[in-house]
Amino acid sequence: MRVDDEVDEITVLAGESGRGRKLYAPVRGRVAAIINGLILIEQVNDVLDLEAGVRGRVSDVQSGRGAVIEASGAYVQGFWGNGQRAIAVLRGEASTALEDLDADQFSSPFHNVIVVVRRGITQRVINAARNLGVSGLVGPSMPVSLLGHALGQPFPIMLTEAFGETRVNRTLNQWLIEHEGSQVVLDAFEPTPWDTRRPEIVMTVATKPGETPVRPNLMLTLRAGMTVRVIGAPYTGMSGVVLNLPSDPVLLDNGMRFACAQVELSSGERIFAPLANIEVSGR
C-alpha cells in the first residue's frame, strides 16, 4: 500500500495472504499518508447527478452551494404537494373521468404524463392515476382525510388551491389549457408552516434568437386594474380585478378592520378582501 493509492471497501490494507486475518479499507477513497503504521484515508464522496429542472443558462456558481440558472418560462405556485417530483408532458383530463378509464397503462393516453383534473381529487382519482401509470397529478383541492394516502404515492400530487372542496381558479385553469402538451417540471414540494417555499410547476418557454425576456418586477405594488387571486375563505382560489384600494381599514363581517382591496370577482361579485389574502398574477 502506497500514498495516493485508491481504495474501497474490498481493498486489503494489511494482513496475511491466504485465509489469514485481513484489514479492509472502511471507506472508498485515497491513501493520503502512512505514518508509523497508521494509514490515513481521504474519503471520496459519492457522485450525485443533480437535475437542473429547467432549460437555461448558468449565470452564477455559488461555491459549496450550487449554481444559479437563468431561464425564461411560465411558472405557477401551488398550495400543497406530497414531496415527489417529475418531468413530463402536461395534459388535461379528457371528457371521460380518469377513474372511469381502462386500467391498461400502456394503452392509456395518460401513461407517463402529468394529468390536470379540474375537480377535487378523490381516493378513486388517486388510485386510477396510479393504475394508469401517470407521472403526476394536479388538481384544485383534496379532502384532508386523504393526506396520508397521497403522501404514500410514488408520483407527485399537487393541489393548486386548498384542502376540502374548492372551485378551480379561472386564471390558473386558462394557464393550464394554454400550456397543455408542453413539457413541465412538477415539483410537488411538501410545505411546512415555517417554509417559504411552495410546490410549483415550471415550464421553459423558447425565445426568439437575440430576444431577451423582460425580468419580472419583484417590487410591483398593488393597484387598480391588476388581476389578482383571493386565497382566503370563502373565496379561496377565485380570481378577479382590483377596483379600488381604500385608504382606511375596512370593517369586515367578522367585526375586524383590515387594510383591504375592493375586488370584482370573475363571477361579477364585488368583495373587500384583506391585502394579506391577495396574490398578484405574475407577468
- What pLDDT score does 159 carry? 94
Asked if residue 283 has pLDDT above 60, the reply is no
Task: Specify whether the backbone of 37 is left (phi greater than 0), alpha (psi in -120 to 50) or beta.
Answer: left
- Is the same domain home to 188 and 251? no
- What pLDDT score does 104 carry? 64
- Residue 92 pLDDT level (bands cut at 50, 70, 90): confident
For the chain, the farthest-separated pair of C-alpha atoms sits apart, in whole angstroms, at 89
- What pLDDT score does 176 carry? 80
Q: What is the CATH number of the domain that holds 193?
A: 3.50.30.10
State pLDDT tens for residues 116-167.
998 899 999 999 999 999 999 999 999 999 999 999 999 999 998 888 888 7
Q: What is the CATH number of the domain that holds 260?
A: 2.30.30
For 146, counting Cβ atoms within 10 Å of its Cβ (0-12 exposed, 13-18 middle, 19+ buried), the class is middle
Asked if residue 251 has pLDDT above 80, the reply is yes
Overall domain count for the chain: 3
State pLDDT tens for residues 31-89.
888 888 888 888 887 777 777 777 788 989 988 788 888 888 888 888 899 999 999 99
- Is the same domain home to 125 and 174? yes
- Residue 172 pLDDT level (bands cut at 50, 70, 90): confident
Asked if residue 107 has pLDDT above 70, the reply is no
- Is the same domain home to 78 and 200? yes
- Is the same domain home to 117 and 158? yes
Q: How far apart are CA 69 and CA 56, in angstroms?
A: 6
- Residue 259 pLDDT level (bands cut at 50, 70, 90): very high
> What DSSP string describes 124-156?
HHHHHHHHHT-SEEEEEEE-GGGHHHHHT-SS-
Q: Is the pTM of this model over 0.75?
A: no
Amino acid at 145: S
Contact yes or no for 182/89 (Cβ under 8 A) = yes
Asked if residue 261 has pLDDT above 70, the reply is yes
> Averaged over 201-222, what is the pLDDT?
76
- Domain extent, residue 94, equals 74-204
- What pLDDT score does 142 carry? 94
Asked if residue 218 has pLDDT above 80, the reply is no
Name the percent of the chain lying above pLDDT 70: 95
